[in-house]
Chain A
Amino acid sequence: MTQAPLLRRITDYSSRADPYPLYEELRRTPVLHEEEGGPYVISSYYDIKGLLHDPRISSDAANATAVDDEFSAPEATGLPPSFLRLDPPEHDRLRRIANSSFGPPHRPDRIDGLRGELGAIVSDLLDGLAGAERIDVVDQFAYPFPVTVICRLLGVPREEEPRFRAWVDPIVAGLDPGNRDDPGAPGPKAAQEARVQLGMYLAGLVEERTRDPRDDMLSDLVAGHGPDGAMSMMEVLSTAVLLLIAGHETTVNLITNGMLTLLRHPEYLERLRADPGLSVRIVEELLRYEPPVQLVPQRTCITDIELRGVTIPKGSRIWLVLAAGNRDPERFKDPDRFDPDREDIEHLGFGSGIHSCFGAPLARLEAQVALAELARRLDNPRLAEDPPPYRTNAVLRGPRHLTVDVDGVLP
């Protein structure tokens, strides 16, 4: 029996718990093109890095000619694309405006100023687990924590989470290329519909902030304090949808992958308990070793490009498998070893180039605070199930539940 194409094996759910052997196989064909009309899959570190900085590679779906699959199709209706799916100069303008309410030079204090609040949210969540002997790290901690933070940051009422959850889920499922093989999964229509719904919900909040600004990003986005002025209403909504989703869907996985990895490497959990400062190195190594975004499936070349002797024709879809590049032995010594002490951790976990993760400073801080506190307060944590059950998504990969037995939760 012939084996299924490698890409299908990677997106297939059965490989979710450990895709790394398949990535190793993938790297043996650094420019993989298995099926007519299918994507060109790039898996080695330097090639990925190069393409992330290549001005011939577009993120704008409108440049893809091979739109055979709905996944890359430009949105026909509804909200305009967010800056994640745009090229310069529009991408740059929108990202600059968004950044003027998020980071330096306009708001250098925004993330650092959250430090105390992050600590308080984490403490509350862990206090709530007092007396527990078995906890689900995902549902009881790693999910509610970043959701609370992004709600606070954007200015979305935390208690309305169940409402927007119903829209976020189909949107996130729509990001999963493996989805198209699964007839039961929500289709691209559902994702698009949900995006419009979420946008309409946020429009209500934006309207409130237009009348009555507060200290949150929605208020800043509509006010447009920076030199580029304000975004249009539709641009604000697209950006808000992006930030709301990217602001927590990925961090959940970073924290959960982190706890799972630490439980598999108890010596680091022990060291982290003794030295919370080690969380900085641990989080960087996690972003290399178990990145929450495994691959970028949204790039297209605007001209024929040559890579390792292969011509990738104009309009082809290009997938950049960040998680494979992160384990490339050409780049990292002993790549399959989790080693926060390694001197060189220049990972691709946040991508690189103009689309490199907008929320990286926040994600780093959240994961550092979360893991340090989990290590400090969980008494004798043990994995109840290894591997844990995973979410279906092959792009935003992480456990659906992470059941951990504890002797208690320390004060």
Chain B
Amino acid sequence: MPAEQFHEWLRREGRIVVVGASLAGLRAAETLRAEGFTGSLTMIGDEPYEPYDRPPLSKAVLLGMSAPDRTDLPRRREIDATWRLGVAATGLDLAAHRVRLADGDEVPYDRLLIATGVRARPWPREEEAQLDGVFTLRTRDDAVRLHRRLKAGPRRVFVIGAGFTGSEIASACRHQGIAVTVAERADAPLVGALGGVIGSVAAELHRDNGVDLRTGVMVTGLEGDSVGRVRAAHLSDGSVVDTDVVVVSLGATRNTEWLADSGLGAGPRGIACDAGCRAFDFRGIVTDDVYVAGDVARSPHALFGYQFLSLEHWGNAVAQAEVAAHNMISASADRRPHLWVPAFWSAQFGVNIKSVGVPTMGEEIMITQGSLAERRFVGVYGYRGRVIAAVSFDNTRWLEFYEGQIERGAPFPVEYPTMDRRPEGRKPVPADFPDPSLPTHGATVTLSGYSPADRRLVFTPARH
């Protein structure tokens, strides 16, 4: 069949399977229908729920301001799909074009979209992880359980890891007057994502809000009582913290195990795809019928030296899903690249934090507006003489400008005057990211090297 006719046929009566029924999967399905796809659409998800929104789970839901089962994602349109919910995909046969499911079923496809996302990294010692009172927070069920426990009025909550999720959980606890200890291996919260300069502001934010913040320590063990309830956490500095709720916030693991023998370029760092969201196989050859979107994808980005980026960002999931869906049913000349500038936000301790670009590439930072001491500022990261990222605390509305600067490769340091530039912001200082040989859980953007099919877990330093 000539290519043109093939795409016409595909749009009319092809079979598209989406593995992963969360944000990226849903937006992709909606885009397919919006662009006139009339074939069959199957949505496969391992959770029993229709697509729901996750950011509120560590914010409004923990505060009791929103019910955990009320965060369903708003629908843009009808998608007329066959839903296979509560059934995980367990395998992929690239040659036969079939997805295997946990219940033994096989679902054939003409085009496949993989949007299986990530899951919370569990506490590594299984026995301790299974103690009553030890939680992770990623899913709706997690949020229900944790919220119930917080409502019961624990004596102290112990949070392992001061990345964004860990910090938001600590914030929600403090907001409700619950005592919290946060243990972080780095010298401050958010260091992995934003560097030490911003990390020290975050540390103050924790402490001023009454968090018992322990930095530079590791948790060496969780201790249970005789009936299997957690009662204490042991730290590497020898201290012991009595607690009855432990939340493990050690970042995320990519859901790629089900692809282990599929021949796709999938591994612990995600599934490599090209700028058009087409998956690479393990030989580094691009497929034309398997697409990737959302947290599980790693794709090259022109603005960042064509390095492969893995982004655990809400906005990226949406944007990449739209591009993937469009490209799946379009001839090659009509396809679009995914060139989204990374951006994410967090709300904690009453402060709105937002970032654009790739802060972890930053060598230096300068505060171009506002002041660190007031915790209201815009910080700009520089990399080899250009603007590579920006972060704001309660100054979100300026970031659009800096996003433009990143896209243009504008020069760094920022020499031009800006409103509310303080003397402290006239000179760049080292951004102070931790030793890149120590992978941290805090980064929500991970640079994962140049080789698309690299399945080894080798850390690529953020700075060269």
Contacts and interface: CB of A to CB of B under 8 A. Distances in A.
Interface of A: 49-50, 53-56, 58, 87-89, 92, 105, 302-303, 352-354, 356
A53 B370 contact: no
B420 A53 contact: no
Contacts of A88: 369-370, 419-420
A402 B420 CA distance: 45
Contacts of A92: 376
Nearest to A355: B397
Interface in B388-405: 397-401, 404
Contacts of A56: 416-419
8 contacts: A49-B400, A53-B399, A55-B419, A55-B420, A87-B420, A88-B369, A89-B370, A89-B374
A55 B401 contact: yes
B444 interface: no
Which label, helix, strand, loop or mixed, suits the secondary structure of the A interface? loop
Interface string B402-416: 001000000000001
A48 to B, nearest CB: 12
B344 to A, nearest CB: 18
A303 B417 contact: yes
Given A50-B404, A55-B419, 16 more contacts: A50-B400, A53-B398, A53-B399, A53-B400, A55-B378, A55-B398, A55-B418, A56-B417, A87-B420, A88-B420, A89-B376, A302-B419, A352-B397, A353-B400, A354-B397, A356-B397
B376 A55 contact: no
A54 B368 CA distance: 12
A353 B404 CA distance: 14
Contact of B368 (A55, A87, A356): A55
A87 B421 CA distance: 11
Return the 3 tightest CB-CB contacts between A and B, nearest first.
A55-B418, A53-B400, A88-B420
A302 B374 CA distance: 24
Interface in B343-377: 350, 368-370, 374, 376
A353 B398 CA distance: 7
Contacts of B419: 55-56, 58, 87-88, 302
A249 B241 CA distance: 60
Contact of A353 (B368, B397, B416, B418): B397
Contacts of A53: 397-401
Which label, helix, strand, loop or mixed, suits the secondary structure of the B interface? mixed
Contacts of B400: 49-50, 53, 353
Contacts of B418: 55-56, 302
Interface of B: 350, 368-370, 374, 376, 378, 397-401, 404, 416-420
A90 to B, nearest CB: 9
Contacts of B376: 89, 92
A89 B369 CA distance: 9
B403 to A, nearest CB: 9
Given A50-B404, A55-B368, A55-B369, A89 B420 contact: yes
A352 B398 CA distance: 10
A228 to B, nearest CB: 11
Nearest to B394: A92
A352 B399 CA distance: 12
A356 B350 CA distance: 21
A303 B420 CA distance: 14
A54 B397 contact: no
Nearest to A96: B394
Nearest to B416: A303
A50 B368 CA distance: 18
A15 to B, nearest CB: 32
Contacts of B369: 55, 88
Contacts of A354: 397-398
B372 to A, nearest CB: 13
Nearest to B378: A55
A49 B403 CA distance: 13
Contacts of B417: 56, 302-303
Contacts of A50: 400-401, 404
B59 to A, nearest CB: 12
Nearest to B350: A105
Contacts of B368: 55
A303 B368 CA distance: 15
B30 to A, nearest CB: 12
Among B350, B374, B376, the most chain A Cβ lie within 10 Å of the Cβ of B376
Nearest to B371: A89
Contacts of A352: 397
Contacts of B398: 53, 55, 353-354
B436 to A, nearest CB: 31
Contacts of B374: 89
A93 B398 CA distance: 16
A352 B401 CA distance: 12
Contact of B401 (A54, A87, A105, A303): A54
A323 B89 CA distance: 51
A248 B44 CA distance: 52
A210 B419 CA distance: 34
A311 to B, nearest CB: 13
A68 B173 CA distance: 57
Contacts of B350: 105
A354 B399 CA distance: 11
A119 B416 CA distance: 50
A354 B419 CA distance: 12
Contacts of A105: 350
Nearest to B396: A354
B377 to A, nearest CB: 10
